[in-house]
Amino acid sequence: MTNIVLFGPPGAGKGTQAEVLKEKYKLVHISTGDVFRYNIKNKTELGTLAKSYMDKGHLVPDTVTIDMLQAEVKKNSDANGFIFDGFPRTEAQAEALSNLMEQMDSQINAMVALEVEDEVLVKRLLERGKSSGRADDANENVIRERIAEYYRKTDILKAYYQKQDKYYGVNGVGSIDEITQRLSEVVDTL
């Protein structure tokens, strides 16, 4: 199994590249946001529990998030591997994910981060905001805060995976094909 944690600030192209890598390497793409929405929409036991926290404005506890991801991983136990998108966000979550993979006789092979300069991200997101209808892509101050929040949260994880020699920074500027090529060069070494 090849298991990748895919990271990148808002506007780095994670969603686009996750889809390409999913097809190329026959991996299962697990987006934490999608898993949450699915469980809440379908009123699963975990979705109802997560919603009860969210409705109060609280963060969903790691145990609930991990249980949702575990269910998703087990649904795809015959997969060639996984691309985790939006998770982990803390060192505790990274350790929990590592334990989950060990239960499947596997491991996280790499954290791959798309690296893009802030000014390029702002320009991309403002452009996307013109067609996406997303309010958070239309306001430059909000965009800059989202980018700053990404760095505040991921610096810890970058250090966590660097200690294990599993961190790979990839230049996220260029055509989709150029970026895919750079990502593939990393995945092919795992």
Residues that are catalytic: 14, 89, 128, 134, 146
**Angstrom distance (rounded) from CA 97 to CA 70:** 9
Phi and psi for 9 in degrees, rounded to 5? Answer: -65, 165
Please provide the DSSP assignment of 47-116 as one string.
Answer: HHHHHHHHHTTPPPPHHHHHHHHHHHHHHTTTSSEEEEES---SHHHHHHHHHHHHHTT----EEEEEE-
Instruction: Tell me how far apart the alpha carbons of residues 122 and 119 are, in angstroms, rounded to a whole number.
Output: 5
Q: Which residues pair with 81 in a beta bridge?
A: 2
71 Cβ contact partners less than 8 Å away, ≥ 6 residues apart: 46
Peptide bond into 88 cis (omega under 30): yes
Structure-token pair, residue 32: 């934490």
Q: What is the bridge-based pairing of β-strands 81-85 and 110-115?
A: unpaired
